[in-house]
Structure 1
């Protein structure tokens, strides 16, 4: 039997914060602990931490708010604190999930102490700059991310398309680590007629659902154009647009979509109930490294329309268990949504196939692969990448 590892995870976001990175890291940590490993988490302090005791498996640092992103923060650089901590109790391997000041200080401390590092590419920051009118620094951010990740023993990416794109940009030692979904939590049986009635729907009506962070980089303008096109194409159907989530552009969206239902951020069983109570799921984002919500929607038995990249490219067969459009083809996206509602049998068949596919995408194999990558890195000589 392989020996258990002392693994330190460094991240600037963690549950109960609501985003794909926090959700994924929570799953991976729980999975590693259930397999007998010691997992230490280093992260910024959250509001919920006021009464939390900091121990050998949790180190909290100061956080700074990210402008325009309420509820998310950068972690303060903590190199000397990390050096002292790891000199006293040395980890076998680090997993650095974010590339901000905290992640950078962890990378520098690890290299000084010759501790192996695996990094994760969880967020397309270099694409966000274009959405925020900062395209002039895209090359600079890409250079920094490449420099950062090329100093780890391996960088884990969630999708084949992401791996191909980063290889093209000079990122090295990339490995694929997909994402899973909790198919017991996200299940069609969670459908609630009471919730649907609160949305103003009757049996036979259609809930057009979007779930995710309401931010500029999520391409949410397509929600309005798609919904307007569906209403125009199917005047005899009663359609209701339901948006679950929160974020910096929520107020703007509410002004643009005055008839939509805005449910705010949801967690756990409530989130699963919202998913299952929808019918068609629209996901227009073009900046995802993966997009956990796609798998959650499939598991909940929804007809999913997305662009053909990241999670959708891996998990949706067009016309079988969902519908995809070429990235950036807004007209194709709208056509896919219209096709999904063409007749009741099409949507019913797609939804059944979606659930069947997602039910095979559990976390067990992913956690095993993650453990393998960490163990391989920990066995690298002195934790140093040869030739660097």
Structure 2
């Protein structure tokens, strides 16, 4: 039976045009739901230079303030009563809360008072970040807080099987998988640009080593230096250059450390796709990423991806078949995996073809359909009023 049109509110501290994995995923999910006939409201932080409303999407910005240490991202703040009044007058059938800051908390409180079904997303594991950097007490407190938050929602959606198992181990309930997708038409090897490579100072036989992501200490960027040195030793006859796409607090420090690297800043759309396709190898040393957007975009672009065997990378990469994996935290293994792949040309060609083939099967339409099923499931379980009651009397 075709799902009736739903009124869905997506609540998040980040959304397009901000550049990060959560904003990218929500943009695809909201647009996909709209194309399937649903009404989608976005409640997110007001940007310093706010954008015009997007066709078919009702942007409902609220005030916000910057995240400490995360320039460009903003905590949103709006009172529970303001949300309650808004949703009492224009009642959604279901909420999807993507972030668990003050906005998410107040949205959850307002929805519970109004009897609206709520599905939550677990996109960033702040407790894991705190634990990895030595703050065990803070990690335990954050885990307790997040567990309590998600326990009050109908479902918690995570992007990888390993994340699901980890949350279940930590006592989270009703955790389901919603893997993220990739636009394999946009991210495509055909976008390889000789002129862009020449701009980078590279010829056809030279090696462009790409890193895409936020330039912050928590993403284990120190590993890039020794990995590049090892790759250069393994291929002394080829010119090698690090191509860095992204912004963050460590940019100036890294630019001083790697004077020969090309820092491209934040890229989006076709420009980002061209940067992927014009590279040869993607190094992804992060130990805290859960979304896997970079991994899938690089694979769709026909790149060899080297990552740690965890989260979304573990879900999408088969070592030696469509990429290379190292055990989490094994820096020497990460470097060895990168060098091993480039021992012969045939290995690189085979891995690239397999990576592209895998990415072709990870399109957003299937992800949106699965997301829709979770929202319907939450509505039915909650006994929500509105479109579903009319469709399923």
Q: Same fold (TM over 0.5)?
A: yes
Q: Tell me, what secondary structure is at the counterpart of 2:249?
A: coil
Equivalent-residue separation in structure 1 for 2:230 and 2:312 (angstroms) = 25
The residue aligned with 2:208 is: 207
Q: Identify unmatched segments of 5+ residues in structure 2.
A: 386-393
The residue aligned with 2:374 is: 373
Deviations 1:7-39 (A, max 9, x none): 111000000100000000000000000000011
The residue aligned with 1:248 is: 249
Equivalent-residue separation in structure 2 for 1:160 and 1:301 (angstroms) = 24
The residue aligned with 2:24 is: 23
The residue aligned with 2:104 is: 103
Instruction: Report if aligned partners of 2:181, 2:362 keep a CA contact under 8 Å in 1.
Output: yes
Pairs aligned (count): 384
Instruction: Report how far residue 147 of structure 1 moved.
Output: 0.5
Instruction: Report how far residue 354 of structure 1 moved.
Output: 0.9
Instruction: Report if aligned partners of 2:64, 2:77 keep a CA contact under 8 Å in 1.
Output: yes
Deviations 1:83-104 (A, max 9, x none): 1011111111100000000000
RMSD: 1.8
Equivalent-residue separation in structure 1 for 2:382 and 2:211 (angstroms) = 47
Instruction: Report how far residue 69 of structure 1 moved.
Output: 1.1
Instruction: Report how far residue 47 of structure 1 moved.
Output: 2.8
Equivalent-residue separation in structure 2 for 1:279 and 1:95 (angstroms) = 37
The residue aligned with 2:219 is: 218
Q: Tell me, what secondary structure is at the counterpart of 1:85?
A: helix
The residue aligned with 2:67 is: 66
Instruction: Report how far residue 53 of structure 1 moved.
Output: 9.9
Instruction: Report if aligned partners of 2:7, 2:94 keep a CA contact under 8 Å in 1.
Output: yes
Equivalent-residue separation in structure 2 for 1:220 and 1:205 (angstroms) = 23
In the TM superposition, 1:227-238 aligns within 5 A as 227-238=228-239
Q: Identify unmatched segments of 5+ residues in structure 1.
A: none
- Does 2:313 align with 1:312? yes
Q: Tell me, what secondary structure is at the counterpart of 2:377?
A: helix
Instruction: Report how far residue 323 of structure 1 moved.
Output: 0.6
- Does 2:150 align with 1:143? no
The residue aligned with 2:116 is: 115
The residue aligned with 2:359 is: 358
Equivalent-residue separation in structure 1 for 2:79 and 2:5 (angstroms) = 27
Instruction: Report if aligned partners of 2:180, 2:292 keep a CA contact under 8 Å in 1.
Output: no
Which deviates more from structure 2 when the two are superposed, residues 122-131 or residues 197-206? Answer: 122-131
The residue aligned with 1:269 is: 270
Equivalent-residue separation in structure 2 for 1:134 and 1:218 (angstroms) = 17
Instruction: Report if aligned partners of 2:34, 2:56 keep a CA contact under 8 Å in 1.
Output: no
The residue aligned with 2:391 is: none
The residue aligned with 1:188 is: 189
Equivalent-residue separation in structure 2 for 1:259 and 1:129 (angstroms) = 33
Q: Tell me, what secondary structure is at the counterpart of 2:211?
A: strand
